[in-house]
Structure 1
Amino acid sequence: MRRLLLLSFTALGTTAAIAQTNPGTPPINQPSAAVAETVVTATRVPTPIERVPGGVTVIDRQTIEERGYQTLAEALVSVPGLSLIQSGGIGQPASAFIRGTASRHALVLLDGVPINDASEPNGAFNFGNDLLGLDVERIEVLRGPASSLYGSGAIGGVVNIVTRRAPKDKAIEAFGEIAGGSNRTLRAGGGVAGTVGQFDYLLSLRSLSTRGTDATPSRFTSDTRERDGFRSVGATARLGWTPSDRFRLEGLANWRENHGGLDNVPFDDPNYSFEDRRYTGQIRAEGKPFEVWTTGFRIAQTVDRRRYTNLADSLSAATTNDLFRGQRTVFDWGNQIRTPDYGILDQGQLSFGITHEREAVDQGSGSAFFRTTTNASALSTAGHAGYQIRLFQRLDLSAGFRQDSAEDYGTHSTYRLGAVLAVPEISARIRGAYGTAFKAPSLYQRFGVITGFFQGNPDLRPELSEGWEAGIEFDIPLAAQRDFATVGATYFENRIRDLINFNAAFTTLENVERARIKGGEFTATLRPFRWLNVSAAYTVTDARDVATGERLARRPEQQLALNAAFRPLDNVTIAPEAVFYGRSLEGAFASYRDDGTSYTVARDNKVGTIFNLTASWQVMEPITLFVEGRNLMDSKFEPANGFVIAGRTVLAGTRFRF
């Protein structure tokens, strides 16, 4: 691995950095047209893309549609530094490993509000459950320690899902799509939005149903070819009031409900199913008491309810009736102050605020003899502050600090420092950042109970990390075209301690493990012609347990994503995508032979390649026809041992906006 890292940086190090756009959530009264020019997620204040020091990526609405992404999991596979491991096809559980950190170290936001399920035993987010309906404007991914911005859980990074906003120049705009194809799949969605005087509104509905595919590999002798169907419905509503350019009040509500089948490796299980509901709402007010000061207050709540059921059948007499209820309530006060320019200093921004949060869990799972229960709640309060400034109109400096105080795991402080140096003489940007982060023990880890077998540990400490990154990005001109190519590379390291795992007797949990992670992200975007855009993202990751030196499970050592947008005609776009996964380690007793028996030592998962292709034809200004092909080479790749990806599928449909 060390040799591979060295060879990779030798090949690309002279033209290094991140060739990705940066994420953000705009201020509540910022026009949507300005979203692509500034970002907020990476710094909490509107910041020009080129001034953000960390690794960041934006997947905007145009990219989602051109590449045919219909789920959050599909969209994230091309993000450098992020490995998306899904246990089967659409709707099946999916985990994201950002820069080699654990899946519970990825914090997910919806319009800036955390939505990780409080009832999930480890606090991880299931990326396989969310559709990218027409209400999703873009997805923003911030890589690296980010607890100084968002608190617990942001060790690997942050994924922010940003919803659509109403047009400011129309009283009513209607939009929608309908598509159907393989596996009896039907996808539909639509809505209306507009601005009438001081009020704006948006209402959007979405749905998808499919009989699905078989997640059990055909190599297993126990495979019955039973399909895991999936149905999802959801809605988003937003209402805003802007009586003046100094004040805005808005409310947002989001609901989604999923039903589907699951497999129980290494055997098919036709009666194993789930239902998953999530309700998220927030009310936010923002004002400008003075021209240089913006202040806002938000109240938000997320409620998750998951149930897993399994009836006795000819394959198994076991039954399951598991229920998970989680609730998260957030009160947040945030401020932005623009500081005056002075001499060599300009573009100064100060941000500060207070966040109060309550988590609650009511959970029961397992058999009557071996049943796990958690019934607990916890409060935490945090203060945060950040500052960024530009020197000599080319050196951007940023710093952030946050202190979280919880009623049960004490007080914890995190910080982040960053710098971006513009070198226009060679069309380069040099970036660097260093930060700390933490993940609080979940309520299950602290208070979960299996009577007579297991007791959570209320004295657990947070998992702690410190990490840094350094990179460089070049714009390469050619033939009078300034942006003919953008190439870059970033090196990152992260050390995590006090990782939580079971004690030797499996009777409780302890802070017993440490991890060391290093790697590189290499990107290139070529724009040789007006009608052709090609991008590549290559990631090398070395994630290991410090004590044993063993590789961490399910982190591919290498991953390469290739994308292109080919426009043979002005109104036609053809977008191929290829994703290559290198080998990854699977845990002992989670690696399976063809007969379904497990290995007693960890084994490597085989490499895999997925090829997708989407074609779009804008028939007229408001109407587009499209065809989406997924896994067209019909790969049998198993990202997680014992779970095969969906086979070849094709969907065709139309999208409109009036």
Structure 2
Amino acid sequence: MRRLLLSYAVSLGAALAASPALAQTAAPPPPASTPPEPTAAITETVVTATRIPTPIERVPGSVTVIDRRTIEERGYQTVAEALQTVPGVALIQAGGPGQQASAFIRGTASRHALVLLDGVPINDASDPNGAFNFGNDVLGLEVDRIEVLRGPASALYGSSAIGGVINIVTRRAPRDRPVEVFGEAAAGSFRTLRLGAGITGTVGEFDYLFSIRSLSTRGSDATASRFTRNTGERDGFWGVSATARVGWTPSDRFRAEALLNWRENQGGIDNVPNDDPNYEFDDRRWTGQIRLEGRPLDVWTTGLRIARTEDRRRYTNLPDSLSRATTDDLFRGRRDSLDWGNQVRLPDMGVFDQSLVSFGVSAEEEEVRQASGSPTFRTTVDATQTTTAAHAAYQVRLFRRLDLTAGFRNDVPEGFNSAATYRLGAVLQIPEVSARVRASYGTGFKAPSLYQRFGRIGTTFQGNPDLRPETSAGWEAGAEFDLAVAGNRDFATLGATYFDNRITGLINFNAAFNSLENVDRARIKGVEIAATLRPARWLTAQLAWTVTDARDARTGDRLARRPEQTIAINASVRPVEGVTIAPELLIYGRSREGAFASYRDNGTSFAVSRDNKAGTVFNLVGTWQVTEPVALFLEGRNLTDSRFEPANGFQIAGRSVLVGARGRF
């Protein structure tokens, strides 16, 4: 793989540039100290949905953008907290900070969500299923936005993008300032301390960003308090991360950029039905990329990106009065990737305008080194896997109101047949009634993980190297309307989307439980309803309501940990200049728990699947912009002290309050 990367780099280096598919080159202006009044007329550009910078109203799919202003206004301090309000996303966390948090996008499995950091995949290759732990990443001040694309997207990004893609985008350096310093400090309940600082700017042809953030907390007991033998043991958390970016833009036709991100988390692990005070984890990840962007011709943008991500997770447990168990588990995962992408703008012809063609090739190598479990029941993986792919897409606007897109990708993973995927979409603007109608159809796939192909558990289990990729086919259709009331043209935006997805070849145990097979199927359908109300300049309210029916296609049983309904209600109230109050109400419907995953109050498990109870969480954040660069904030979470259990046996943290300040100079 290293020789392959080198040959690609040499042969394509003259082409320069990483395509806009990888990131936006243009630096957006820094956020205003006093946010502007919201308006439906604001056009937002996203990259994740089409791999080409595209205004969000022209994207033929469901996209949600959580920008920096929203993150600060609502007090989100982790990626998991931010995703809880996204339509179609069910975020289920089994434990406190740093512990497993899974995102089920439109009812698909947690391993069917592909996560990117500035366009680089960061799903842990050493995870047995290739899933991403959303409980690990703290939202530092260097994060500019999170783009969430829902629906099959393998035609854009390859493996894992069956449910959707989540792209965490870091902030860009301001073009007009040589130095900008930013920072934050907050403290509160559970002995929580949150710190962050950074510096960014542009000096001549060079720009830079350096930031560091940390979060520490004594934590709370995530093991449900209803268990009669609950010890009340708190599981603390400490995490630190740093980001560095350096860019060089000698002309408007060329840019070179290097990005490095590192984080390490340590903490205790909750368990059910009996907690273990000595069970701890250490989780490290670093990811880096070098990206070149160039425009050899006015109509052609081309680019090259080389990236690496490494994960190291260790879990340890020493004997104590409650358990004589000893654990020392180590997981190591590595992913090297190369991506060459191009974008060509075609000339306008009659009713055809804004035509764009994109194409490229990529190569990726994954490596896993794992050793976990007891000496007599040891799980091991020692394997590598290489994948190459080619992709192409076309988008065009007809009659200045109909946007059409088509994309195709062919992935060739080492050891099994290629996976060809495609995506078609359309957006029709109907300005006469201030409406937009969207529809799309796409296919997706999830390649077997290295554990699923080559893992061993003593002499009782052997992975299956002949596994096929899990595949899906899904469609969606929806409409969005802008409503004017009493002369207010931006009074409301209402929208609804229906989605339907069928997944085949799901990997599960064989009948003898000594290996894995492609044996399961799933049928998922649902509705996402969204509404934004702007009745006054000082008030904005948002509703996201999702109804999901996710079932095993063979048995008709509901899939585990997919809430039947989720509702998120947010508001931004500005009673006086410089003050913002942001209440948030999260409502979770009942969800299914698998057999032996549901526990009675006495700690014994049920032998059959059970329903997990519904729950409600209320958060409230207040921000006061004291001066142009400085703001004070007060964050209250779970103010009703709900004991809701997103996963049976694991309850959310109790009532907490955090007070702090942030500034930019």
2:664 corresponds to 1:657 = yes
Q: Which residue of 2 aligns with 1:250?
A: 257
2:34 corresponds to 1:27 = no
Q: 1: distance between equivalents of 2:56 and 2:556? A: 38
2:572 corresponds to 1:572 = no
Kindly report which structure 2 residues correspond to 1:119-518, keeping only aligned pairs within 5 A, or say none.
119-518=126-525
Asked whether the 8 Å contact 1:24–1:38 carries over to 2, the reply is no
Q: 2: distance between equivalents of 1:26 and 1:267? A: 46
Identify which range, 529-538 or 480-489, moves more after superposition: 480-489
Q: CA deviation at 1:650?
A: 0.4
Identify which range, 31-40 or 459-468, moves more after superposition: 31-40
Q: Which residue of 2 aligns with 1:9?
A: none
Secondary structure at the aligned position of 2:218 is classed as: strand
Q: CA deviation at 1:433?
A: 0.2
Q: CA deviation at 1:49?
A: 1.2
Q: 2: distance between equivalents of 1:362 and 1:98? A: 29
Q: Deviations over 1:116-173 (max 9, x none)?
A: 0000000000000000000100001000000000000000000000011111000000
Asked whether the 8 Å contact 1:111–1:161 carries over to 2, the reply is yes
Matched to 1:27, the amino acid is Q
Q: Which residue of 2 aligns with 1:619?
A: 626
Q: When the two structures are aligned, how many residues end up with a matched partner?
A: 636
Asked whether the 8 Å contact 1:395–1:422 carries over to 2, the reply is yes
Matched to 2:90, the amino acid is S
Matched to 1:543, the amino acid is A
Matched to 2:277, the amino acid is P
Secondary structure at the aligned position of 2:596 is classed as: coil
Identify which range, 473-482 or 236-245, moves more after superposition: 473-482
Q: CA deviation at 1:91?
A: 2.3
Q: 1: distance between equivalents of 2:329 and 2:98? A: 18
Matched to 1:283, the amino acid is I
Q: 2: distance between equivalents of 1:114 and 1:25? A: 11
Quick one: percent identity of the two aligned structures?
71
Asked whether the 8 Å contact 2:22–2:119 carries over to 1, the reply is yes
Q: 2: distance between equivalents of 1:267 and 1:393? A: 62
Q: CA deviation at 1:24?
A: 8.6
Secondary structure at the aligned position of 1:634 is classed as: coil
2:49 corresponds to 1:42 = yes
Q: Which residue of 1 aligns with 2:4?
A: none
Asked whether the 8 Å contact 2:96–2:270 carries over to 1, the reply is no
Secondary structure at the aligned position of 1:317 is classed as: coil
Q: CA deviation at 1:521?
A: 0.1
Kindly report which structure 2 residues correspond to 1:462-611, keeping only aligned pairs within 5 A, or say none.
462-611=469-618
Task: Return 5+ residue gaps in structure 1 as ranges.
Answer: 1-22
Secondary structure at the aligned position of 2:436 is classed as: strand
Q: Which residue of 2 aligns with 1:18?
A: none
Q: 2: distance between equivalents of 1:420 and 1:545? A: 32
Q: 2: distance between equivalents of 1:574 and 1:451? A: 56
Asked whether the 8 Å contact 2:27–2:172 carries over to 1, the reply is no
Asked whether the 8 Å contact 1:25–1:162 carries over to 2, the reply is no
Secondary structure at the aligned position of 1:444 is classed as: helix
Q: 2: distance between equivalents of 1:508 and 1:563? A: 46
Q: 1: distance between equivalents of 2:490 and 2:48? A: 26
Q: Which residue of 1 aligns with 2:15?
A: none
Matched to 1:28, the amino acid is T
Q: 1: distance between equivalents of 2:424 and 2:298? A: 28
Secondary structure at the aligned position of 2:219 is classed as: strand
Kindly report which structure 2 residues correspond to 1:92-111, keeping only aligned pairs within 5 A, or say none.
92-111=99-118
Q: CA deviation at 1:29?
A: 4.0
Q: 1: distance between equivalents of 2:635 and 2:326? A: 38
Q: Deviations over 1:442-473 (max 9, x none)?
A: 00000001121000000000000000000000
2:54 corresponds to 1:57 = no
Q: CA deviation at 1:75?
A: 0.3
Matched to 1:111, the amino acid is D
Q: Which residue of 1 aligns with 2:120?
A: 113
Q: 1:36 to 1:309 in 2, by over 3 A?
A: farther
Q: 1: distance between equivalents of 2:21 and 2:545? A: 23
Q: 2: distance between equivalents of 1:273 and 1:590? A: 22
Q: Deviations over 1:536-584 (max 9, x none)?
A: 0000000000111000000000000000000001200000000000000
Matched to 2:481, the amino acid is F
Q: Deviations over 1:179-224 (max 9, x none)?
A: 0000000000010000000000000000010000101111101210
Q: Deviations over 1:334-393 (max 9, x none)?
A: 111111111001011111100100000000000000000000000010000000000000
* RMSD, aligned α-carbons: 1.2
Q: 2: distance between equivalents of 1:570 and 1:88? A: 39
Q: 1: distance between equivalents of 2:416 and 2:323? A: 42
Secondary structure at the aligned position of 1:62 is classed as: helix
Q: Deviations over 1:59-83 (max 9, x none)?
A: 0000000000000000000000000
Q: CA deviation at 1:36?
A: 6.4
Q: 2: distance between equivalents of 1:532 and 1:444? A: 50
Matched to 2:198, the amino acid is G
Q: 2: distance between equivalents of 1:45 and 1:584? A: 37
Q: CA deviation at 1:263?
A: 1.6
Secondary structure at the aligned position of 1:58 is classed as: strand
Secondary structure at the aligned position of 1:620 is classed as: coil
Q: 2: distance between equivalents of 1:72 and 1:653? A: 19
Q: 1:24 to 1:249 in 2, by over 3 A?
A: closer
Q: 2: distance between equivalents of 1:499 and 1:457? A: 13
Q: 1:98 to 1:536 in 2, by over 3 A?
A: same
Q: 1:25 to 1:48 in 2, by over 3 A?
A: farther
Secondary structure at the aligned position of 1:212 is classed as: coil
Q: 2: distance between equivalents of 1:153 and 1:373? A: 23
Matched to 1:320, the amino acid is T
Q: 1: distance between equivalents of 2:567 and 2:389? A: 38
Q: 1:133 to 1:33 in 2, by over 3 A?
A: closer
Q: CA deviation at 1:30?
A: 4.8
Q: 1: distance between equivalents of 2:269 and 2:262? A: 22
Q: CA deviation at 1:33?
A: 6.6
Q: Which residue of 2 aligns with 1:6?
A: none
Relative to the length of structure 2, the TM-score reads 0.95
Asked whether the 8 Å contact 1:90–1:646 carries over to 2, the reply is no
Identify which range, 476-485 or 170-179, moves more after superposition: 476-485
Kindly report which structure 2 residues correspond to 1:61-76, keeping only aligned pairs within 5 A, or say none.
61-76=68-83
